Chain A
């Protein structure tokens, strides 16, 4: 039986109070919202914070505001996020991503902010203490070597968030608040390609809000590869967003891959601008994305196959943007229509 390690517990009511506690407690404190990522990690002794600072009672983190765009409180559960009026119509990729995270029960608990800050994952890391001890641990926790590629100088654990690629494609920004002040950055800037230091969030900062621009003619789509229709983390995520002129010419586009790197991988998609989404153009972009994707052998399924289907999945996303009826394919892959 895996018990949680001991911890002190604080439950502030406001962001300011939570920020003060984080500043005071220093590196020994960790934030907890839904707990669906942190608590399994604590049970496996990946993280053993001295103090848990729960933001569950901070009402301000549940706020939803329309204005010039949409502001989403980071404390919204994924179920609450999916109930936001107009989300599916205006920010479809986000709805498609959120609806495919984990399971319905876990979406009732896990939050948007939690999914954005999700710990990176790896076959050699997401194991209990005894298992990890038996392989003399790994670089990400308690050890020296990266067992995925023993010559690697950095940890290759995989970015496994579904909502981050979708939100980056949608041009989202996030607000980070600490006792010293606050800052707003593009969501893509929150991440870096390192399995250990995957977030540029400072330990005393709280991710409080996600800010989405007005859809303004942009369409978006998210496709997720996983073995089962529920539970599984992505083995590949493809988020695409584009602004199309009336005749179908692409004015601007963004393409982001999840789960093929230690951070959401933004694919340069300038090549799309000024062109129409013809089958040839889609194939060309798919191949370009596939050559950039570097999945490692540290999640489920065969590595080469996971790389091989990148072009296909980019194709599904771009065809959905183009207006093709992808419902049969989506039912086959996602087991649900969102």
Chain B
């Protein structure tokens, strides 16, 4: 579909993209957002479906390493992109340090915003391994949590960052 791509509404689109490191080919209706593609066509329901309008951040995923909102991203514009979702974090049964820290520090209560926060935090830590608390707050400001009061979320990200730097076990 590259170049002078012309996609018609009534035909399914077929395209390739990287999902959690795996080359994936998928066929879907062209009106779908990346969120709908992930949840409905790829069965990856870890990415949450919140406000659908960019007002809550629950659907944040990493697209080519940057936190973006899957609900406002046309799936047809993701051809060739690398998409990382919450499902791609754990290694077998071993949780990613961010996931473990969220469990240990109560960074997650109802859990609905957690995938979005964790993916945004991963995007931050991939670029800045040692962010200040202020920086963590700033980077995760685009996600609403209605349970934790954010304190534990910042704690968890701080601890995960330290562990990823090899300073804590």
Contacts and interface: CB of A to CB of B under 8 A. Distances in A.
Interface of A: 1-13, 17, 32, 35-36, 39-40, 43-44, 52, 54, 56-57, 79, 102-106, 108-109, 229-231, 336
Contacts of A229: 141
A157 B2 CA distance: 38
A8 B7 contact: yes
A109 B72 contact: yes
B114 to A, nearest CB: 15
B1 interface: yes
A101 B77 CA distance: 23
B57 A105 contact: yes
B77 to A, nearest CB: 6
A53 to B, nearest CB: 11
A36 B72 contact: yes
Contact of B68 (A40, A43, A109): A109
B93 to A, nearest CB: 30
Residue picked from B3, B32, B72, B120, most chain A C-beta under 10 Å: B72
A40 B53 contact: yes
A2 B66 CA distance: 25
A8 B69 contact: no
A108 B67 contact: yes
Contact of B60 (A36, A43, A105): A105
B113 to A, nearest CB: 12
B76 interface: yes
A172 B151 CA distance: 41
B33 A4 contact: yes
B4 A11 contact: yes
A12 B52 contact: no
Contact of B69 (A4, A57, A109, A336): A109
9 contacts: A9-B30, A40-B54, A54-B77, A57-B2, A105-B57, A105-B68, A106-B54, A106-B69, A336-B138
Contact of A35 (B9, B30, B74, B139): B74
Interface string B49-90: 100111101001000001111001110110000000000000
B6 A108 contact: no
Contact of A39 (B33, B120, B138): B33
Interface of B: 1-10, 30-33, 36, 49, 52-55, 57, 60, 66-69, 72-74, 76-77, 120, 138-139, 141-143
B4 A2 contact: no
Given A56-B77, A106-B142, A4 B31 contact: yes
Contacts of B76: 9
Residue picked from B30, B36, B49, B74, most chain A C-beta under 10 Å: B74
B142 A231 contact: yes
B118 to A, nearest CB: 13
A275 B87 CA distance: 62
A12 B138 CA distance: 35
Contacts, number: 104
Contact of B6 (A10, A36, A39): A10
Contact of A11 (B5, B8, B31, B120): B5
Contacts of A6: 9-10, 30-31
A104 B143 CA distance: 9
Contacts of B143: 103, 105
Contacts of A8: 6-9
A321 B16 CA distance: 51
Given A8-B8, A10-B6, A109-B68, A104 B142 contact: yes
Nearest to A107: B142
B160 to A, nearest CB: 18
A35 B72 contact: yes
Given A229-B141, A230-B141, A336-B138, A109 B73 contact: yes
B5 A9 contact: yes
Nearest to B77: A56
A229 B139 CA distance: 12
B107 to A, nearest CB: 18
Contacts of B66: 79, 108
Contacts of A3: 31, 36
A35 B143 CA distance: 19
Contacts of B60: 105
B52 A1 contact: yes
A9 B153 CA distance: 40
Contacts of A9: 5-7, 30, 74, 76
B141 A103 contact: yes
Given A54-B74, A104-B120, A104-B139, 4 more contacts: A8-B6, A8-B9, A32-B74, A106-B72
Contact of A7 (B1, B3, B9, B139): B9
